[in-house]
Chain A
Amino acid sequence: MSAASAASAASINWAAIDADPRFQKLHHKKVSFLLGLMIFSVAYYFLLPIGAAYFPQLFGIRVWGPINVGLLFALSEFIVAWAIAFYYSRRANREFDAMARELIADAEKIGS
């Protein structure tokens, strides 16, 4: 840590880290994972206003007492949002952080 704390942006070979296979692996994993989750969450969210506007009959079908499809769907938006957050943080905590830590530890060695 003592040697590392003297580091500055200038003393690190960023291009070399970018080209490092470990960084490339992190980058590819993260980008595809985030893009997929982002598209899914946005699409799932917009199903709600679209469904409410164009499929009111479907939303009105009663499932459990007065609880209808629309209400369940709106509640599911909360569950799905929380699930995405949980899923992302688990993957980031277990996988991405470990990969990043390796790169941080070697930051000054790579490409020098």
Chain B
Amino acid sequence: MNKRHALYLAAGALALPLVAMPALAQGAVASEWRWLTFTVFAAIIGVTMFVTYLAAKRVKSVADFYTAGGGVSGLQNGWAIAGDYLSAASFLGIAGLISLYGYDGFMYSVGWLVAYITVLLVIAEPCRNIGKYTLADILAYRNDPKKVRVVGAISVITVSTFYLTAQMVGGGVLVKTLIGIDYEISVIAVGILMLGYVLFGGMVATTWVQIIKAVLLVTASILLVMFVWLPYGFSLPAFLQAAIGDTKVQAQVATLLGDASKNMTAAELGQRFLEPGLLFKAPIDQISLGMALVFGTAGLPHILMRFFTVPTAQEARKSVIWAMAIIGGFYVLTLFLGLGAAMHVGAANIRAVDAGGNMAAPLLAQFVGGGGDSFLGNLFLAFVAAVAFATIVAVVAGLVLAAASAMAHDLYVGVIRGEHVTPQEQVKAARIATVIVGAMAIAIGIAAKGQNVAHLVALAFAVAASANFPCVLLTLYWKRCNTGGIMAGMVVGTLTAIGLVLVSPNMTYPKAIKAAAQKVVEGAPARAAALNEAKSSGDAAKVAKAENDLRALDAGVAKARDDLKRLENDNTSLVGLEKPLFELKNPGLISIPLGFLAVILGSLLYRDRRAEEMWDELYVRQNTGILAARAQAH
């Protein structure tokens, strides 16, 4: 028992940066409060497990497993879409970006909502009208089923795996930072829990887990915002004025701007927090990412799949409207969460626990409840931590279901068995595929420990926007589109998006890192001298700052030395490059037009009578829903 205790303590200590600062005791959940976090975790897991138990009784056919039998209402599906979409990256990540960079963080959140306009206008209803279980079902409607199922399934599995890896690794790191559980244990816990939901409860349980998570997430956010905003009588200008008048916010702006801030007054520094440019320096990259979001969401298999769970196109429409209200409302709330964390917790304290700012919302919760020593503060933190955990599990469940359906329904049933499969075999195949994908998710999660996977979400969106979106859009709306176009679009879209990222600045370039490290090491003595001089200036504030900076300098030099040693014999990136071939971090700007071009050229160069003969049927059905509603009435 003692040993285990020590282990927990050690893990908890590891979760905190090693620099001993008093603020860190409040960083993640303190060990004496961990039982509280586990209690809240247990309560949420208990409720979701109970729901899974109820759902399992209702999952009999393969349609129940993949699409909850099409019996989900528009309102329920709207919440489930929000639960499927609002990953930990948007809950914790965007609040964190706002807390550290102000305006730019908020601007970043906009694209995630606008994406749903594309889904609403051109994707949701047609897909409901002609689709069945998977993205490839839509492509197979008028094209060569086997061929498009193969490329469609590969693309779906690729997108889902990128997204899944980011969620598993991000989730593992998050749980570790929050409560100090070992990374591997938390990855396995997320994986097994998710497998439990999906395997036994299929889409019914997944839907409810996503709904519960979305309700918890929105409730937690509203409560936090009430606490943060109430003191200002719910006045937006008064709240913003307080945020930018805070010295911690002003100090953060000064740090970000560096020398450029020398002649700025405190008020100007604060106001600068509400202006663009503190985070994003490359507008073209922003636009490229925006394109991937706005067109990629409509090609995300786990989002697309949600539209097969509602009975009619009208319910599909209603569900997007609800999802947009929930998702958009949530992002507006994150503005308050981020700014609240910036003024109450402070960028320095947020960064001390997690450099990416992911702990902004949890730390704000703790502050609002009364701080790290209070019961309420720790209860709030425990609640937010548990919501974050539920968030990861719900998103992962949706992703696994999407990947498993592509594997079982498209590849196994559609291609390998040529649709000659009994209903029982289909359910069995779906469950086996779920176990395979789930095990894969756990294995990848553990293997990718310590890797920077943040850009994998952007890559998933880029592939979805460059391959899936052009194919789905053109098969639905362009008569001449055919099998050749789908094959070309899927292959070109996927490969260019991935290829461009492999040669982009996202990869690690040892030479550049070594050069930067060399510079830090060489510049250290001069900088140390300057700081030491400031230390002896006598001004208390300056001395404190200089001491802090000196500590940071020491850490920086140590890291630089470490980098130099680690990369001593390493000169090229993963694909053998010394420097990026392609300057954009987000490939969308190039790969999305290429994906469209490939579908168009592929279609024009390929003759496919069936695709043209089936056009009338597909186009009439996708527009009117003839036969779609009736199929549900059986």
Q: Give A residues with C-beta under 8 Å from B.
A: 1, 4-5, 7-9, 12, 14-15, 17-18, 23, 26-27, 30, 34, 37-38, 41-42, 45-46, 48-50, 52-54, 56, 59-60, 62, 64-68, 70-71, 74-75, 77-78, 81-82, 84-86, 88-89, 92-93, 97, 100, 103-104, 107
Contact = CB atoms under 8 A, between A and B. Distances in A.
A53 B103 CA distance: 12
Contacts of A50: 283, 287
A42 B274 CA distance: 24
B325 A71 contact: no
Contact of A66 (B241, B276, B321, B627): B241
Given A65-B241, A81-B113, 10 more contacts: A23-B623, A34-B122, A37-B121, A48-B107, A52-B280, A65-B240, A70-B107, A74-B103, A78-B331, A100-B623
A7 B104 CA distance: 55
Contact of B619 (A5, A18, A48): A18
Interface in B95-143: 103-104, 106-107, 110-111, 113-114, 116-118, 120-122, 125
Most buried by A among B283, B287, B290, B624: B624
B627 A27 contact: no
B328 A45 contact: no
A78 B332 contact: yes
Given A38-B117, A41-B117, A82-B328, A67 B237 contact: yes
Contacts of B116: 81, 85
B154 interface: no
B107 A14 contact: no
B613 to A, nearest CB: 9
B234 to A, nearest CB: 14
Interface string B619-634: 1110111110110011
A71 B103 CA distance: 7
Chain B contact patch, size range? 35 or more
Nearest to B111: A45
Interface in B576-603: none
Contacts of B324: 81-82, 85
A53 B271 CA distance: 17
Contacts of A92: 125, 317
Contacts, number: 166
Contacts of A1: 633
14 contacts: A4-B630, A7-B627, A17-B620, A27-B623, A46-B290, A49-B283, A52-B276, A53-B283, A66-B241, A77-B113, A85-B320, A92-B125, A93-B314, A100-B623
Q: Please provide the 10 A-B residue pairs with the shortest distance between their CB atoms, ordered closest to farther.
A: A53-B283, A65-B237, A52-B276, A14-B617, A14-B616, A100-B624, A18-B616, A49-B286, A66-B240, A45-B114
Given A4-B630, A5-B634, A65-B241, A26 B294 contact: no
A30 B320 CA distance: 18
A29 B484 CA distance: 30
Interface string B314-326: 1001101100110
Contacts of B318: 89
Interface string B227-254: 0000000001110110010000000000
Contact of B114 (A4, A26, A41, A93): A41
A49 B287 contact: yes
Interface string B10-38: 00000000000000000000000000000
B525 to A, nearest CB: 37
A65 B241 CA distance: 7
Contacts of B317: 89, 92-93
